Structure 1
Amino acid sequence: MKLIEGQLIHRRYRLDQRLAQGGMGEVWKGYDIQLGRVVAIKALRADSGKNVETKVRRLRTEAHNSANLAHPNIAALFEYYEHDGIGFLIMEYVPSDSLADLFHRKGILEATELLPILIQTARGLFIAHSHGIIHRDVKPANIMVSEEGEVKITDFGISTSSNQESITQDGMVVGTAQYISPEQAQGQQATPQSDIYSLGVVAYEGLCGHRPFTGATPVDIAAAHVNDPVPPLPDSVDLQLRQFIMSMLSKDPQDRPKDALVVSRTLSRIERRLLDQQTMLSDSTTVVSSGRRLPRRVASRPHGQQLLTGLQGRVGQGASEGTSHPQDSAKSRKANSQGNEDWKDQQ
């Protein structure tokens, strides 16, 4: 069955535009004509050839694992449908760029820009883990970020559940080499700490502009995750943030944070501290002039004197308007005159 634009799936979902095509399936932007909303449709490729049944089983697994994951930071699954041996996932359409796109455009992200993305991703992963679902492919391409900064985790295509039969064979490596955890790279069973490791790689890449490990082949990269020490993060990165990310990248899963909730809460505390530091730095910015510290808003006027003179004039005017005694007004003018002389002496 070949999928074409305008085709109606399940007498309800119209295929409007092919968005992506991969080894297992293709993703379309579609339209739900019953509810009048845009949707994303993931389908098994028509030319998938061998092992079609295995691939359909994998799509069913993705549907099963995504069905109960209702959370603002996880792309929602609306329906699963099969026809002529082809499975269709009807999902929430996320009109956003991926974090991979953001990395490509900006290279290195400021910590205060990256942390909200990591925090929301960790929250979504915690919900998945709470339902026994391990994503197994946490990477920037599967983290969608809207212009408002809202995050959606997508693609549970190779996820695994604690209460389902495994589709992969024992010892089979599953994941993306650049972000795979050491235990996954060795064909061991993935755990919530495996997703935490992958999120640590994402954090490392966002702060450094590159991943911790490279290699000529995916096998070389996966081996580096297992055997090579993680290169240190730059000193320009906040010390506490550096230490925590390195804990996420520990080779031993038991040395990583307890769960994704700990990750989100710890990163939130670091974010608040960094934001507070920025605010304090901004508020404490002053200009030192002739031994007297002037607020920045005063010093921004020419020599800082125009505003001061205007203020003194208004003070004098206010004293005059506030009394009916001429002698009080004269005293006020004398005081203002003396104040001006003091200012001139300090110049």
Structure 2
Amino acid sequence: MNVNSFVTEKVINQSQRFVIYKAKRRSDDELVLIKTLAAETSADNILAKSLKSEAEAAIKLNHPAMRKGFSFLGEESTPAFVSEYISGMSLAEYLLQNDGKAKLEQSLIWARDILHALIYAEEQGYHHSNLNPYNIIIDEAGKLYLIGFGKEREAWRHSEGNPRYHFPLLYVAPETYNGSIIKANSDIYSWAVILYQALCGHLPWRLDSFSSPEENKGQSLTRGVILPDSDKVPDWLYSVLLACLKNDPEDRVESNLALLELLKMESIDFDWDIVPFKEPEEVEALPVVEETQEPEEEEILPVEAEEAPSEPDLEEDTEPEIEEAPEPAYEPETPIHEPYQEPPAIDEEEI
């Protein structure tokens, strides 16, 4: 299969480094997404390797809260990553269209879905390290999909972002931002920033509108977390977020599984233990138990009673004979019912 196996319909997104197309596969007309290098970067081998790494991760990882990868077309001139097409928008765009935030119940569902996806990815040997609202897709039904596993570690440095929105580097864990170090709990920091923003409509720290993204990132590492309204963030959840937003990874919740256990212990009226969109497991049929044959009842022979002596003086009661009434005589010429007569035939031409 090559690029000619698809028909592109439109450009979904174009940056200085990549172009993303909505396309249709010729063999079965299935809609797909094709990500390839932009014309300006078509000769960039580092970007081509990053795209291949992203494709390999998406093909390997199979989770209901992740966009599924199909193939990587490795032609030297036009390397392309083919994946599942999802009709929706990024979480960044969703928040822009909804006053910067989402409802509490919806935010918790998305946070749970992300966390379960991170746990699964870690079991497969992957950390995201670029977790931000641009790498989260919300489909038309409100279902969440993670994208971007396998990208180069510092992809967030090259992201152009959106001038109307926060740059991806503001979601990166401090150890990753300062030293390109990825810890087992680095994604937890990003997870907490995203959840805080979805609930409150702004990032956890005060930012200066006149400062650059890099300056705001540096300032965020020295500023305290803004205390949210309790109607937006419940007290139990705020304490969990604070534990996730520690600058030092040694002081942060240690792992994704530990975070899940903490949420299950602290949360009120919300089930964090449900894997999102999990297919129902097949119930194993119970073994058929053969019916036990009931034992045959022993035949009980009647005990022969001694014959009673006959009493000659007693007369046997005899039922009177009832004479049958004679059947009425019918004359054979007179039938009981009139015989059925066929109706006269109708000539079709007369109708």
What TM-score comes out, normalization by structure 1 length? 0.67
Distance (whole Å) between structure 1 residues aligned to residue 151 and residue 268 of structure 2: 34
- Structure 1, unmatched stretches of 5+, are 1-7, 161-167, 276-347
Pairwise CA RMSD:
2.6
Q: Which residue is 2:332 aligned to?
A: none
Distance (whole Å) between structure 2 residues aligned to residue 55 and residue 130 of structure 1: 26
Distance (whole Å) between structure 2 residues aligned to residue 182 and residue 174 of structure 1: 17
Is the aligned partner of 1:259 residue 2:251? Answer: no
Q: Which residue is 1:187 aligned to?
A: 179
Distance 1:268 1:37, change over 3 A: farther
Q: Which moved more, 1:140-149 or 1:195-204?
A: 140-149
Q: Which residue is 1:156 aligned to?
A: 149
Distance (whole Å) between structure 2 residues aligned to residue 66 and residue 102 of structure 1: 23
The answer to whether the 8 A contact 1:25-1:42 is kept is yes
Write the deviation string for residues 57-113 of structure 1: whole angstroms up to 9, x where unpaired. 111221233231110011111000122432100001111222222211223322112
Residue identity in the other structure for 1:33: R
Write the deviation string for residues 247-268 of structure 1: whole angstroms up to 9, x where unpaired. 1111121332232234445546
The answer to whether the 8 A contact 1:29-1:40 is kept is yes
Task: Flag the structure with higher helix content.
Answer: 1
Q: Which residue is 1:228 aligned to?
A: 223
Distance 1:54 1:106, change over 3 A: same
The answer to whether the 8 A contact 1:182-1:226 is kept is yes
Aligned-residue identity in percent: 22
Task: Flag the structure with higher strand content.
Answer: 1
Q: Which residue is 1:71 aligned to?
A: 63
Q: Which residue is 2:293 aligned to?
A: none
Q: Structure 1 residue 180: deviation in Å?
A: 1.3
Distance (whole Å) between structure 2 residues aligned to residue 16 and residue 270 of structure 1: 48
Structure 2 residue matching 1:90: 3-state secondary structure: strand
Distance (whole Å) between structure 1 residues aligned to residue 40 and residue 248 of structure 2: 41
Is the aligned partner of 1:239 residue 2:235? Answer: yes
Distance (whole Å) between structure 2 residues aligned to residue 267 and residue 118 of structure 1: 11
Q: Which residue is 1:20 aligned to?
A: 13
Is the aligned partner of 1:217 residue 2:209? Answer: no
Distance (whole Å) between structure 2 residues aligned to residue 105 and residue 271 of structure 1: 29
Is the aligned partner of 1:250 residue 2:246? Answer: yes
Structure 2 residue matching 1:14: 3-state secondary structure: strand
Residue identity in the other structure for 2:248: D
Is the aligned partner of 1:45 residue 2:38? Answer: yes
**2:269 aligned to 270, 273, 282, which one?**
273
Distance (whole Å) between structure 1 residues aligned to residue 265 and residue 103 of structure 2: 16
Distance (whole Å) between structure 2 residues aligned to residue 117 and residue 86 of structure 1: 35
Distance (whole Å) between structure 2 residues aligned to residue 26 and residue 70 of structure 1: 24
Could you list the structure 1 runs, at least 4 aligned residues long, displaced by more than 4 angstroms after superposition: 172-175, 264-272
Q: Structure 1 residue 114: deviation in Å?
A: 0.7
Q: Which residue is 1:142 aligned to?
A: 135
What TM-score comes out, normalization by structure 2 length? 0.67
Write the deviation string for residues 127-168 of structure 1: whole angstroms up to 9, x where unpaired. 2222222212211121112243321001236355xxxxxxx6
- Report how many residues are paired: 258
Q: Which residue is 1:10 aligned to?
A: 3
Structure 2 residue matching 1:233: 3-state secondary structure: coil
Distance 1:45 1:272, change over 3 A: same
The answer to whether the 8 A contact 1:9-1:15 is kept is no
The answer to whether the 8 A contact 1:26-1:45 is kept is yes
The answer to whether the 8 A contact 2:66-2:147 is kept is yes
Residue identity in the other structure for 1:121: I
